[in-house]
Amino acid sequence: MNKKAMVITYGCQMNVNDSAKIKAQLTKQGYEITENLKDSDLVFINTCTVREGASKKVYGKLGELKTLKKTKKDMIVGVTGCLAQEKKDEILKRAPHVNLVLGNQNIYQIPEYLSKLENDEIKHVVLVDNEDELPPRLDADFDSNFSGCVSITYGCDNFCTYCIVPYVRGRERSVPVKDIITDINNLLKKGYKEIILLGQNVNSYGKGLTNGENFAKLLKEISKIEGKFRLRFMSPHPKDFTDDVIESIIADERISRNIHLPLQAGSTSVLKKMNRGYTKEDYLKLVEKLRSKIKNIALTTDIIVGFPYETEEDFKDTLDVVEKARYENAYMFMYSKRDETPAATMEKQVSEAEKKDRLQRLIEVQTRITKEESNKYLNKEIEILVEGLSPRNKEMYIGRTDSNKVVIFKGDETLIGKFATVKINEANTWTLYGELI
């Protein structure tokens, strides 16, 4: 019988990328990837530890697997990701049925230790080393047949006071330009039409390299690649968004005009406590510069409400930035304590009730702005990358604009994974509706 494996992913796009690499390795080991937990002979959970809720989900899933493993005694359970890196001892204590605990840097060792587990040579493996080294380049099996990711940096040097990432993913390391170009060319040869460059802070790219490489130069090298494709990157840090990066974006229309520019907070006082490295005024100047220089730019962002010491006036500063920046979308969260971060022990923690109230008010403002920004697409002819059938209406197809707006339209399956032009005739808050041109 064919062995079946399931990979469950929590957290950021970096984890999605790592899961794609895990799937490729498991496939080479003879496993068929499945979405059915009960059919699985092996389950890997790729974990997140950015927010407390993510950790609870992981332990809940491990409890479910403990029950399942009572009837499937040979099932192999693996845990990787940031929670595995941070809480390796706790995981084994709370879930002794776990066989593999691997750090982010160690997923390339899956085949080696999986064979030992399958042959009963070992029962448990814990590997969370090498967090300050570049991992080997690995092939990846992405869920999408047209959108693939390439990691250009690993780790982070920013040490935002709310964030655990530098402690679990290590200090920032940059992948050599030639390796990135090779990865992109390999994806394009496979037929991918969208390439996403990944890093905790992509525009500080170049650390650890010796030939003066930086993010602007990397974009210029990628622009030398011929062919029709779309290039995205996430996430840049506002303090490192230099003029040469802007010029590199302007120079190549294939580089997406959707810029994800994390704000986190609009108050200079709160930004200082977050250790973000910029002020409210710095951020708004950057927004103004981006809008003046890059035609058809679409900004998105991340925002945390209820950070320690945040007052009502601080929160109003955040609302002010949102009104002025005019984001097309925003990922909005209440502050959540993470152990071993400076913010977790700060005084004047904001109450849950106040955080919920501020989040709701922020959502209301951003939803209005998103709707207003969507209306700008009406009656325009726009190029989209077609993703497939609409999940809600099987007679319609779904695609995304360069600005990452979802478009629903009538089409056929021959368009999937290709670029098409549509005219927008209806704009809802989150979705555009159009017709093929």
Q: Is 149 annotated as a binding residue?
A: no
Domain at 378-436: CATH code: 2.40.50.140
The position carrying tokens 């090298």 is 221
- At 99, list the tokens: 């066989």
CB 80, CB 195: distance < 8 Å: no
Q: How many CB atoms lie within 10 A of CB 20?
A: 20
What pLDDT does 130 receive? 59
CA-CA distances (angstroms) from residue 124 to 68, 73, 76, 131, 169?
18, 14, 10, 21, 22
Burial class (CB in 10 A: 0-12, 13-18, 19+), 281: exposed
Q: What architecture (CATH level 2) is domain 3-127?
A: 3-Layer(aba) Sandwich (3.40)
- At 333, list the tokens: 């969260």
**Given 3.40.50.2300, 3.30.70.3290, 3.40.50.720, 3.30.750.210, which CATH number is that of 144-256?**
3.30.750.210
Q: Is 156 annotated as a binding residue?
A: yes
In the chain, list all ranges with CATH 3.40.50.360.
3-127
260-377 has which fold? Answer: Transcription Regulator spoIIAA (3.30.750)
End-to-end CA distance of the chain: 49
For the chain, 437 residues long, give each residue's pLDDT as a single digit of tens.
589 999 999 888 888 999 999 999 999 999 999 999 999 999 999 998 776 677 788 999 999 999 999 998 889 999 998 888 888 888 988 999 999 998 888 888 899 989 888 888 888 888 777 566 677 788 888 888 899 999 999 989 999 999 988 888 888 999 999 999 999 999 999 999 999 999 999 999 998 898 889 999 999 999 999 999 999 999 999 999 999 999 999 999 999 999 999 999 999 999 999 999 999 999 999 999 999 999 999 999 999 999 999 999 999 999 999 999 999 999 999 999 888 899 999 999 999 999 999 999 999 999 999 999 999 999 999 999 999 999 888 889 999 999 999 999 999 999 999 999 999 999 999 999 999 99
Distance, CA of 217 to CA of 242 (rounded, Å): 12
In the chain, list all ranges with CATH 2.40.50.140.
378-436
